Amino acid sequence: MVRMTGSQILLECLQREGADTIFGYPGGVVLPLYDTLPQFPAIRHVLVRHEQGAAHMADGFARASGRTGVCLATSGPGATNLVTGIATSFLDSTPMVAITGNVARTLLGKDGFQEADITGITQPITKHNYLVMRAENIAMAVREAFHIARTGRPGPVHVDIPKDVFQEEAEFEWPDELSLRGYRPTTRGHAGMIRRAAEAINAAERPIVIAGHGVVWGEATDELVALAEKADIPVITTFLGIGGFPETHPLSYGFLGMHGMYHANMAADEADVVVGIGMRFDDRAMGRFSDFNPGATIVHIDIDPAEIGKNLPTAVPVVGDVKRVLPDLAERLEARDRSPWLRWIDGVREEHPSLEIRETRRLIPQQIIRALYEETEGRAVLATGVGQHQMWAGQHYFYDSPRKLISSGGLGTMGFELPAAIGAQIAVPDAEVWAICGDAGFQMTMQELAVCVDERLPVRIAIMNNGYLGMVRQWQELFYDENFVSVAVTQPDFRALAAAYGIPALRVETRAEVLPAIREARATDGPILIDFHVDQEENVWPMVPAGASLAETIEAPAKELAR
């Protein structure tokens, strides 16, 4: 055993957990930790420009690579700035360890300078959190934090450490074993339930799989493909499940939900057996719960037992790790030909094409995303913000593998795009990463442009500049009688802004300029920004109005198709 300071123990543990990158921002109480950082040259510290960016970068890092992201902030305002990013990670179940400093132990609870009860604040938005009161407890807390963050249903774990605990010395001992008696995720599905699930599916005429984020995090794509192919079952995904099943596979029918494909929503509504895999029957995906396909038998496979029966009555629950459950289930499925059902969905798709991009002289974001898909041959990683551009990025790019679409689905956090793209680029340096930004969302975190420069990251930044809080404008147009209030947003000259950071930038105003700009961006070594001045009033279709059922999906009205 060696005597080490709390700071040294923390960094040693991070290193042992395989964390080679910390996204952070210093401040008073974490100075002892920063003072120690140079002793650990294998750990790369990325200096962000706002702690929210640090959390989103850690999240983007995790989503792109499957590894646990780490972010760090000082007490008080530093810590509270992380909150949006932690909540974003929590609602999408991504593995993150957020570390904060706090005031010295003797000052805790005294409302001193920069004290915030940050563990009290993060408690409902973390999978678990720690306030570590002694240096000798740091190793166990960090060990547990990583274990909890990345096992079972992943999620963010927060570790708060008072300043003097960083300075305190203790014997360092790496805990070989964990004793978390209250945390034992179920991994293996119940054999009886798997049998019942198989019986339900085997008896089905019109089964459908709805695959979610759990397939991505459970790394169960191959298992899902094998299952679907064996039993000839069409697969749709949730928005976060995109890429969990290859979208160019003949059994892939896109994603469902509020802006899902018409045929996917209809298929979910028409199926006799709905098999939810690694998903949580969220309202944005399922529409009004009370009217979701009342005739369907619901089979639900998920690692989190609390999701089962939470929103919809489940006939067959299977709690377990999808990677282990799917092969067991597939083994019991009969090889079947379900072409009548597949042809039915094909027919709906042909009659109600959701992904057809109309001929128009206007520059519309759908064309840009599709052009990007074709140019990159589907191999890029897209990190999006929240709003219309997010939905188009989900619809018009086709993702053949997981971890290619990085987006805040659950919390819907504007400003996620740029920092998430930065985190992804750092995690997967060889990937071609595009930040697909809203003009408004970009302005929430654009200060992180500086990180692209500092770290020489070749992130390609594409702003879908419609001059509006586009998605909100769409709702005001459709549901608030075109009473447009506070949705037109002024922007800086994004090209000049990029130039101020020394980042090259292009402006695109016509269709003809799209391809050359994409090509130029791809050929550029380093960050580059493209300001796409797109049509201002384009709406996202199809759409399930808030509170409506999937069966009530509305398609683009004729007058919009004629624009």
Ligand X SMILES: Cc1ncc(C[n+]2csc(CCOP(=O)(O)OP(=O)(O)O)c2C)c(N)n1
Q: Would you please indicate which residues are annotated as catalytic (active-site) residues?
A: 51, 113-114, 163, 471
Instruction: List the alpha helices (DSSP H) in 333-462.
Output: 339-351, 365-376, 388-396, 417-427, 439-445, 449-454
Choose between 520 and 560: whose C-beta lies nearer to Mg ion.
Answer: 560
Identity of residue 298? I
Q: By CB under 6 A, is residue 471 in contact with ligand X?
A: yes
Minimum CB–partner distance for residue 89 and other proteins (Å):
16
- The token duo for 258 is 């509020």
Choose between 156 and 409: whose C-beta lies nearer to ligand X.
Answer: 409
Report angle CA 283, 286, 290 to the nearest 5 degrees: 85
Q: Which of 59, 54, 149 is nearest to 100 (CA)?
A: 54
Q: By CB under 8 A, is residue 305 in contact with other proteins?
A: yes
Q: By CB under 5 A, is residue 60 in contact with Mg ion?
A: no
Which of 128, 163, 403, 473 touches other proteins by CB under 8 A? 128
- The token duo for 142 is 């960090």
Q: By CB under 5 A, is residue 470 in contact with Mg ion?
A: yes
Which of 38, 124, 192, 340 touches other proteins by CB under 8 A? 124
Which of 323, 389, 403, 404 touches ligand X by CB under 6 A? 389
Choose between 87 and 371: whose C-beta lies nearer to ligand X.
Answer: 87
Choose between 304 and 400: whose C-beta lies nearer to other proteins.
Answer: 304
Give the count of residues interacting with other proteins (CB under 8 A).
21
Distances (CA, A) of 504 to 38, 187, 452: 33, 49, 12
Sequence-ordered list of residues with C-beta below 8 angstroms from that of 122, at least 6 positions apart, any chain: 83, 86, 98, 129, 158
Q: Interaction with ligand X in 39-98: which residues (CB under 6 A)?
A: none
Rounded to the nearest 10 degrees, what angle do helices 77-92 and 51-65 cross at? Answer: 30
Q: By CB under 8 A, is residue 510 in contact with other proteins?
A: no
- The token duo for 168 is 């305190």
Count the neighbouring beta carbons within 10 Å of the beta carbon of residue 536. 13
Residue 313 interacting partner from Mg ion, ligand X, other proteins, none (CB closer than 5 to 8 Å by kind): none
Minimum CB–partner distance for residue 459 and ligand X (Å):
17
Residue 268 interacting partner from ligand X, Mg ion, other proteins, none (CB closer than 5 to 8 Å by kind): none
Report angle CA 114, 119, 121 to the nearest 5 degrees: 85
Which of 412, 458, 526, 545 touches ligand X by CB under 6 A? 412
Distance CA 524, CA 126 (A): 39
Which of 179, 248, 290, 483 touches other proteins by CB under 8 A? 179
Minimum CB–partner distance for residue 299 and other proteins (Å):
18
Applying CB under 8 A, the span of 127-135, 356-364, 365-373, 426-434 interacting with other proteins comes to 127-135
Which of 35, 291, 304, 555 touches other proteins by CB under 8 A? 304
Give the count of residues interacting with ligand X (CB under 6 A).
19
Distance CA 196, CA 401 (A): 30
Residue 310 interacting partner from Mg ion, ligand X, other proteins, none (CB closer than 5 to 8 Å by kind): other proteins
Phi/psi of residue 382, nearest 5 degrees: -110, 125
Applying CB under 8 A, the span of 48-56, 82-90, 163-171, 182-190 interacting with other proteins comes to 182-190
Q: By CB under 8 A, is residue 347 in contact with other proteins?
A: no
Residue 441 interacting partner from ligand X, other proteins, Mg ion, none (CB closer than 5 to 8 Å by kind): ligand X
Q: By CB under 6 A, is residue 468 in contact with ligand X?
A: yes
Minimum CB–partner distance for residue 197 and other proteins (Å):
19
Report whether 397 contacts 373 (CB < 8 A).
yes
Distance CA 313, CA 265 (A): 19
Residue least distant from ligand X (Cβ): 438
Report whether 76 contacts 114 (CB < 8 A).
yes
Which of 65, 80, 119, 360 touches other proteins by CB under 8 A? 119
DSSP code of residue 381? E
Q: Interaction with ligand X in 423-452: which residues (CB under 6 A)?
A: 438-441
Identity of residue 255? F
Q: Interaction with Mg ion in 416-455: which residues (CB under 5 A)?
A: 438-440
Distance CA 537, CA 450 (A): 31
Choose between 160 and 247: whose C-beta lies nearer to other proteins.
Answer: 160
Minimum CB–partner distance for residue 529 and Mg ion (Å):
15
Q: By CB under 8 A, is residue 290 in contact with other proteins?
A: no
Distance CA 392, CA 390 (A): 5
Name the residue with tokens 């706002």: 50
Q: By CB under 5 A, is residue 538 in contact with Mg ion?
A: no
Sequence-ordered list of residues with C-beta below 8 angstroms from that of 124, at least 6 positions apart, any chain: none
Applying CB under 8 A, the span of 3-11, 117-125, 191-199, 383-391 interacting with other proteins comes to 117-125
Choose between 489 and 548: whose C-beta lies nearer to ligand X.
Answer: 489
Distances (CA, A) of 361 to 373, 470, 474: 20, 20, 21
Note the residue count of the chain.
563
Which of 127, 284, 404, 473 touches other proteins by CB under 8 A? 127
Phi/psi of residue 340, nearest 5 degrees: -60, -45
Sequence-ordered list of residues with C-beta below 8 angstroms from that of 235, at least 6 positions apart, any chain: 208, 209, 211, 224, 228, 245, 249, 251, 252, 253
Q: By CB under 6 A, is residue 386 in contact with ligand X?
A: yes
Name the residue with tokens 């991994």: 187
Q: By CB under 5 A, is residue 223 in contact with Mg ion?
A: no
Residue least distant from Mg ion (Cβ): 470
Which residues of this chain interact with ligand X, rule CB under 6 A? 385-389, 412-414, 438-441, 464, 466, 468-472
Which residues of this chain interact with Mg ion, rule CB under 5 A? 438-440, 466, 468, 470
